[in-house]
């Protein structure tokens, strides 16, 4: 029996594997979880036999699928029962696919598995890449009028009743026969055992055969990927072909890369993502063509080819794969750097002229009066938006403001191509999320806006910019333990990119007749928050509490600065006849702010924030983030004096 051929690891190979994992992670974060398909041919190019590359890729993917499934389940998008059942059935397909792969290895050696995997790659990427490219052209031409209807075949499947085989799922309106589920799970596992990506079959089959709503299909596929990936790792591991070294090295790189890729999507349009997706798929497809003659020659299927020619063809194939990876990396990094540069430029233009709060007349002359002309309510229709809806309605009625009720249709571009119904399902879900608030806002001047985006924050910010909103109000998602120390990605990105201030509201919060608490540290961000809080207190007839925190390690100079910051707020409040009290307390800033808010029964916390996102946020350690996570009352994140003064009444 031919011995297992593992890649020899040296410093250069380790570096390349981590780099490939990093680039593949960026591509995966940019175009969707299936972007990891580039890893199998990449590992083959480094010398790993196809069976080792597939097995190691499966091993590296299933932990990430679990994380994604847990996250999507929080939004109610996962049918766990269906996912587990399909995953268990997929294990049979995975086992058979593994058996077929090992049989080819025993009969034809590792070259046989290389040929088999390469041919499947060419067929699958040819089909999917063509669909993606077609979708790119459609989106580029703005032809988005297609309306999704439930496929006739799915309706027929749901109408078939076979006694003893019927199973009911939350994601499907009617019971479905197990006889239809079996081939879907088996085919998904079979493909995953061959190229390490089974979702290209699983997601479309769930939608068009079972009639699962598209959003739930893409989320449930993550459960399937975890279950069959775990089993696949065991199956291939028992054959001794899982190279845990490769799995860990590419996982190490991809964990960093996937974050950058996801951030990069914030700055590009959907059709641009699909263009990159199509180009990478088709480039990888063509790269595998150059290996086929060498495999066929080695197996004796065609006339022998000189070693020099085989090496030249392999070099061409490796070069094309390198082009695909480099193209993906350049696209993501270019989008990321341009977006961050534009964001920083915009932020600098807003913040540069801002003086500190010291001269009270500067504040008094500002346009903001504590009332809003245009309020944007971002809702997903979940229980976590209930507090945001109440507060937005109360402010809109108080200020007689225009209320924008916004729902974002979020669609994964990776599966939107092979399952076009995803986009329509996302639109339907977004429309449903705003339907309730729209009815309740009958007495308010309001407008319902449903927008499409690849992630919620982008849709919210785009609407706020287009409608010149003065404030964005959104819900705080329930978290426990350490998770409360960080706000969600969507909230952080909205705060980072929004052209106005953002209020984050816990589910049970209300605004009434209680006091407003402002946190100030003497910086321009703290002074901007104090400016906003003072005007809000004046407009609402509330008292104002200013809080500044100092650490035990702070010297007398820093403690004097904290006291001066509170004193400046006192002076400004006195000029406006706003009832005021000030506190300088020792402790961690977020804990001091939360404790003071509870003691004073404050109805609102106002804070300044840098509004950083992306790479900056990794090092920000934002006090505002932690306050938002732990606060029981709404938190208004003020980004700057200009941000709070945009076209307010």
CATH code at 598?
3.40.50.12370
Comparing 584 with 358, the larger pLDDT belongs to 584
Judgement on whether residues 165 and 236 belong to the same structural domain of the protein: yes
What's the CA gap between 338 and 343, in Å, rounded? Answer: 8
Neighbours of 643 (CB within 10 A): 25
Does residue 122 contact residue 285 with C-beta atoms inside 8 Å?
yes
Q: Is residue 414 part of a domain?
A: yes
| Measured distance between the N- and C-terminal CA atoms of the chain, rounded to whole angstroms | 81
Assess contact for 552 and 383: CB atoms under 8 A.
no
Given this model, what pLDDT does residue 486 score?
39
Of 306, 338, 370, at which residue does a domain stop? 338
Strand, helix or coil for residue 403: strand
Is the pLDDT at 649 greater than 60? The verdict is no
Q: What is the pLDDT of residue 51?
A: 92
Would residue 453 count as lying in a domain? yes
Is 282 within the bounds of a domain? yes
In-domain check, residue 444: yes
Strands 580-586, 446-453: pairing is unpaired
Give the integer Cα–Cα distance in Å for 521 and 543: 20
596: its two tokens: 């003071």
Cα separations (Å) of 580 from 162, 216, 344, 591?
A: 73, 51, 35, 21
Q: What own/partner pairs with CB < 8 Å and gap ≥ 24 does 145-151 have? A: 146/420, 146/423, 146/424, 147/424, 148/214, 148/420, 148/421, 148/423, 148/424, 148/425, 150/211, 151/207, 151/208, 151/211
Kind of pairing between the strands at 446-453 and 471-475: unpaired
pLDDT given at position 361: 29
Which tokens belong to 229? 């990936």
Average of per-residue pLDDT across 402-409? 92
* Same domain assignment for residues 259 and 293: yes
171-180, 227-236, 299-308, 322-331: segment of lowest average pLDDT: 322-331
State the Rg of the chain over Cα: 28
pLDDT digits (tens, 9 = 90+) for 414-472: 555 555 566 777 888 889 989 999 999 989 999 999 998 877 888 899 899 999 998 99
Say which DSSP state 79 is in. Answer: -
Same domain (yes/no): 320, 379: no
Q: Do 322 and 452 fall within a single domain? A: no
Tell whether the model's pLDDT for residue 144 goes beyond 50: no
1-7 own/partner pairs: CB under 8 Å, 24+ apart: 1/106, 2/105, 2/109, 2/110, 4/52, 4/240, 4/241, 5/47, 5/48, 5/49, 5/52, 5/110, 6/48, 6/52, 6/243, 6/245, 7/43, 7/46, 7/47, 7/48, 7/52, 7/243, 7/246
Query: Domain check: are 161 and 262 in the same one?
Result: yes
* Secondary structure percentages of the chain, helix, strand, coil, to 5: 65, 10, 25
Count of structural domains, the chain = 2
Q: Which domain holds residue 594?
A: 360-644
Rounded distance, CA 325 to CA 333, Å? 12
* Closest-CA residue to 35 (of 407, 284, 313, 228): 284
Output the six-digit token pair for 448. 């319902």
* pLDDT tier, 613 (very low <50, low <70, confident <90, very high otherwise): very low
Q: Name the pLDDT band for 524 (thresholds 50, 70, 90).
A: confident
The answer as to whether 143 is a domain residue is yes
Does residue 350 belong to any structural domain of this protein? Answer: no
Which tens digits make up the pLDDT trace of 324-355? 888 878 877 777 677 667 656 655 554 444 44
- For residue 531, tell me if it sits in a domain: yes
pLDDT at 376: 96
Same domain, 322 and 364: no
Q: Could you tell me which of 349, 373, 340 has the C-alpha nearest to residue 641?
A: 349
pLDDT tens digits for range 491-505: 877 888 888 889 999
d(CA 449, CA 351): 29
Clarify whether residues 289 and 379 are in a common domain.
no
Question: Quick one: average pLDDT of 229-242?
Answer: 91
Domain assignment present for residue 349? The answer is no
Q: What is the mean pLDDT of residues 400-415?
A: 81
Name the burial class of residue 151, with classes exposed (0-12), middle (13-18) and buried (19+) by CB atoms within 10 angstroms of its CB.
Answer: middle
CA 238 → CA 1, 62, 95, 96, 121, distances in Å?
16, 17, 11, 14, 25
Same domain, 401 and 482: yes
pLDDT of residue 131: 76
Contacting residues for 194 by C-beta, under 8 A, at least 6 apart:
54, 97, 101, 116, 117, 120
Whether residues 324 and 364 share a domain: the answer is: no
Closest CA to 638 of 350, 364, 400, 398: 350
Co-location of 233 and 381 in the same domain = no
Is the pTM of the predicted complex or chain greater than 0.75?
A: no
- Collapsing DSSP to helix, strand or coil, 190 comes out as helix
Give dist(CA 306, CA 193) in Å, integer.
32
The sheet carrying 544-550 orders its strands as 446-453, 402-410, 374-378, 471-475, 501-505, 635-638, 604-608, 516-519, 544-550, 580-586
Distance CA 646, CA 368 (A): 8
Domain boundary among 308, 338, 368: 338
Strand residues in 64-199 grouped as ranges (E)? 166-167, 176-177
Q: Among the residues of 196-269, which ranges form H helices?
A: 199-205, 214-238, 244-264
Do residue 370 and residue 272 come from a single domain? no
Least confident piece of the model among 23-32, 456-465, 573-582: 23-32
Claim to verify: residue 382 and residue 301 sit in the same structural domain: no
């Amino acid at each position: 029996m031919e011995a297992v051929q593992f890649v020899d690891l040296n410093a250069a190979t380790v570096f390349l594997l981590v780099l490939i994992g990093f680039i593949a992670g960026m591509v995966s974060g940019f175009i969707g979880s299936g972007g990891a398909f580039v890893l199998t041919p990449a590992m083959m190019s480094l010398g790993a036999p196809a069976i080792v590359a597939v097995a190691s890729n499966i091993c590296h993917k299933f932990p990430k699928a679990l994380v994604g499934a847990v996250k999507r389940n929080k939004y109610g998008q996962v049918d766990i029962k269906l996912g587990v059942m399909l995953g268990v059935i997929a294990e049979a397909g995975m086992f058979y696919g593994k058996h077929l792969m090992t049989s080819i290895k025993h009969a034809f050696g590792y070259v046989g598995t290389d040929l088999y995997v390469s041919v499947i790659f060419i067929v699958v990427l040819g089909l999917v890449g063509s669909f993606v490219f077609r979708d790119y052209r459609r989106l580029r031409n703005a032809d988005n009028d297609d309306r999704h209807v439930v496929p006739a075949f799915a309706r027929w499947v749901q109408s078939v009743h076979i006694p003893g085989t019927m199973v009911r799922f939350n994601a499907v309106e009617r019971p479905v026969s197990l006889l239809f589920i079996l081939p879907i799970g088996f085919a998904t596992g079979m493909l995953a055992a061959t190229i390490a990506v089974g979702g290209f079959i699983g997601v479309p089959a769930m939608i068009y055969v079972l009639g699962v709503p598209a959003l739930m299909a893409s989320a449930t596929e993550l459960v399937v990927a975890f279950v069959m990936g775990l089993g696949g790792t065991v199956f291939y591991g028992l054959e001794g072909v899982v190279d845990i070294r490769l799995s860990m090295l590419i996982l190490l790189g991809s964990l960093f890369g996937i974050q950058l890729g996801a951030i990069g999507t914030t700055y590009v349009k959907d059709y641009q993502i699909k263009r990159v997706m199509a180009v990478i798929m088709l480039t990888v497809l063509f790269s595998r063509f150059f290996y086929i003659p060498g495999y066929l020659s080695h197996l004796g299927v065609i006339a022998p080819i000189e070693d020099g020619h085989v090496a030249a063809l392999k070099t061409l194939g490796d070069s094309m794969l390198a082009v695909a990876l480099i193209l993906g990396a350049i696209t993501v990094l270019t989008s990321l750097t341009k977006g961050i540069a534009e964001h920083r430029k915009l932020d600098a233009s807003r913040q540069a002229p801002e003086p500190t709060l010291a001269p009270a007349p500067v504040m008094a002359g500002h346009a903001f009066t504590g009332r809003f002309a245009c309020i944007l309510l971002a809702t997903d229709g979940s229980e976590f938006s209930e507090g945001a809806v109440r507060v937005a309605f109360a402010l809109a009625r108080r200020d007689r403001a225009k209320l924008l009720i916004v729902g974002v249709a979020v669609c994964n571009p990776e599966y939107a191509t092979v399952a076009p119904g995803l986009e329509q399902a996302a639109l339907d879900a977004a429309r449903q999320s705003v339907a309730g608030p729209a009815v309740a806002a009958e007495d308010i001047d309001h407008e319902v806006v449903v927008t499409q985006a690849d992630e919620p924050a982008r849709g919210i910010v785009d609407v706020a910019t287009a409608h010149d909103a003065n404030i964005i109000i959104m819900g705080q998602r329930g978290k426990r333990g350490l998770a409360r120390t960080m706000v969600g990605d969507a909230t952080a990105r909205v705060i980072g990119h929004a052209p106005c201030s953002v209020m984050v509201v816990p589910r049970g919060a209300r605004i009434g007749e209680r006091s407003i608490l402002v946190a100030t540290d003497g910086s321009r961000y703290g002074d901007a928050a104090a400016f906003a809080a003072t005007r809000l207190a004046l407009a609402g007839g509330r008292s104002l509490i200013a809080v500044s925190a100092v650490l035990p390690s702070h010297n007398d100079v820093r403690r004097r600065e904290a006291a001066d910051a509170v004193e400046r707020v006192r002076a400004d409040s006195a000029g406006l006849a706003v009832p005021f009290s000030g506190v300088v307390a020792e402790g961690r800033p977020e804990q001091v702010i939360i404790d003071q808010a509870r003691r004073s029964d404050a109805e609102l916390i106002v804070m300044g924030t840098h509004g950083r996102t992306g790479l900056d946020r990794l090092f920000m350690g934002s006090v505002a983030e932690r306050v938002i996570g732990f606060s029981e009352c709404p938190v208004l994140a003020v980004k700057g004096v200009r941000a709070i003064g945009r076209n307010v009444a």
